[in-house]
Structure 1
Amino acid sequence: MYKIAASLVLLSIVAASWAYTDCGSEVGTISDVEVSDCVEGKRCILKRNTNVTLKIIFTPKGDSDTLKAVVHGEILGVPMPFDLPNPDGCKDSGVTCPLKAGQTYTYINALPISPHYPRVTVDVKWELQLSNDEDAACAKIPAKIA
């Protein structure tokens, strides 16, 4: 019985060890963040020349006609913008605008990892901004480009 309990605790630590941090969701709350192929280790491994799928479940505190995704990679505290093919959070992301306060939404988007990106340790900061440019969701995900 002890071994089973210890195994479950260890498994939960491994599964949660890459966990995101809320980096300033000003006008919303995050329920969950999932990153494809990110299941173990302290950092998500982002393989160059692939796409990573990100899912953020969030609830805005205010209404909004728009939702914009803004993504940065922070290397040694310096933000470097990631270009998203689709920064419009109301288009092809699973979210339909206008957004209503208190309703939970599931946002899904892909981040292309360019083959030209350097192999570095990076914190990915993914913001979902309402029409007033305030963050309904801001998730920081520890990662490494490999």
Structure 2
Amino acid sequence: MTEIFLMFRKSVFDIKNVEVNGCVDLSANRCAFKRDTKPELRIEFVPTGIGQFYFEATVTTQTLETTVRAKLTGAVIVPFNLDQKDPCKGGNLTCPLKKGETYVYQQGVPILKEYPTVDNVQINWLINDKTNDKTPNDTNKREICIIFLTSIVE
């Protein structure tokens, strides 16, 4: 696993570490991925309180959802299809999440052989708690949001 340079990170959780395997070159603060591979992202985090609101052990987090998008040159945004969008159901995380406990989220994303080689790709990785979608101003909607740069190589 290689620790990656994050352009942006925002979370109601305490993010301890972000790593990726399958990075063949880490230059210019960008991780290069080979086509026809399945790199895996690993995020270590601890649910914590935020502002006046606190993440309680009684809060249901059974419906977490992962969304991954790639922003290519020219501002074209392409969604990635994930094998499992709900990390609670895929065996990755044990939900409900509990305040103060350390969790490790891991998810692979196939870089298909058909993908073109691209030098500058911005990856937007988001984990939402879908149970909070009922309230428009709910600050817990985006549990983890990270953005990093990659490239796709031969």
Determine if the TM-score, normalized by the shorter chain, exceeds 0.5: yes
1:86 matched to 2:84? The reply is yes
SS in 2 for 1:92: coil
- Provide the rounded CA distance (Å) in 2 between the counterparts of 1:23 and 1:80: 20
Residue identity opposite 2:84 in structure 1? N
- Provide the rounded CA distance (Å) in 2 between the counterparts of 1:116 and 1:36: 21
Answer whether contact 1:68 1:128 (CA < 8 A) is retained. yes
The sequence identity of aligned pairs, in percent, is 35
Q: Which has the higher helix share?
A: 1
Provide TM-score, normalisation by structure 2: 0.73
Answer whether contact 1:74 1:122 (CA < 8 A) is retained. yes
Residue identity opposite 2:152 in structure 1? I
SS in 1 for 2:87: coil
Out of 51, 54, 73, the residue aligned to residue 38 of structure 2 is: 51
User: What residue is the counterpart of 1:69 in the other structure?
Assistant: 66
1:144 matched to 2:129? The reply is no
1:19 matched to 2:26? The reply is no
Provide TM-score, normalisation by structure 1: 0.77
SS in 2 for 1:50: coil
- Provide the rounded CA distance (Å) in 2 between the counterparts of 1:80 and 1:29: 28
- Provide the rounded CA distance (Å) in 1 between the counterparts of 2:100 and 2:78: 32
Q: Tell me the alpha carbon deviations over residues 34-63 of structure 1, each in whole angstroms, 9 at most, x when there is no partner.
A: 010336312111111110011011223433
Answer whether contact 1:93 1:109 (CA < 8 A) is retained. no
- Provide the rounded CA distance (Å) in 1 between the counterparts of 2:128 and 2:99: 14
Residue identity opposite 1:124 in structure 2? I
Cα drift, residue 93 of structure 1: 4.9
SS in 2 for 1:49: coil
CA RMSD of aligned residues (A): 2.1
Cα drift, residue 31 of structure 1: 1.4
Answer whether contact 1:22 1:30 (CA < 8 A) is retained. no
Structure 2 unaligned residues grouped into runs of 5+:
49-54, 134-140
Cα drift, residue 100 of structure 1: 1.9
